[in-house]
Amino acid sequence: MSYRTPMHQRLANALSYNEFRIFYQPVIDLPTGNIVGVEALCRWPQRDSTFAAPETFITQAETSGFIVQLGDWVLKNALEQVRKWQKAFSRDINLAVNLSARQFLHYNLMKSIEEAIAKANFSPKLLEFEITESVAMHNAEDSIGIMRQVKSRGMSLALDDFGTGYSSLAYLKRFPIDKLKIDKTFVRDIPDDANDLAIVNAIIAMAHALGLAVQAEGVETVAQAEFLRECGCEYAQGYLFGRPLPADEFELMLASQTPAILAPN
């Protein structure tokens, strides 16, 4: 297909021809170093064997409204894949899926989620939806209502990229969320940057005071991971533990429980 074809049409055609792929990135329990979950991430292979930049095609999908259809596809397929792993390895594996602004506010959100869960026979308690600060605060009162609907079905919620948006602390205590995800921009320079050390420590302390779990993004070094664990951060993601991988490669990681590098002595 010509690259002159409008992006929204290229996206629709890509879904029709099953061109999209879901990659999985491990979520690590920092106290043990074990894989406890995965985040599902959409990828779009191109003809030259590269991948389209996610921030580009996801933004285009959001602008055109196609993100709702694409998001439904990701959720359905990720649920079915992780359910297969749960059966194969006879253990709970949590699944985290991102919700964009348009998905989050779509009138059919709960119906789509419930249908996908039922089809995959997936336990709602093992499904987590991630929303960014900007999405949650766009219309905070409406957002709270939607969050309560999600929570009432037994699923959990994480506030993604925390610290980079404009969350009001007054609203933060009202959001029925379960977890804060510390943005990688604060993790990148620890433990060398005193300001980032203070910010990360403060976020973890505040989250725990509110009864929330904490997950750090962008963890790339053992020193970062050790600092986070010492501060009480429960979960982590990052290249130290594993890059996003296609399902077959991620399954090998699950089978070996590779990221055990942080298990206590």
pLDDT of residue 170: 78
**Is position 264 within any domain?**
no
Does 120 reside within a domain? yes
User: What mean pLDDT do residues 50-58 have?
Assistant: 88
Domain with 132 in it: 7-256
pLDDT score, position 230: 95
The whole-number pLDDT of residue 211 equals: 95
The number of domains in the chain is 1
Q: Is 164 exposed, middle or buried (0-12, 13-18, 19+ CB in 10 A)?
A: middle
Q: What is the pTM of this model?
A: 0.91
The pLDDT confidence band at residue 259, using thresholds 50, 70 and 90, is low
Residue 243 lies in a domain: yes
Q: What is the CATH number of the domain that holds 227?
A: 3.20.20.450
**Per residue in 78-93, pLDDT tens?**
999 999 999 999 999 9
pLDDT at 263: 40
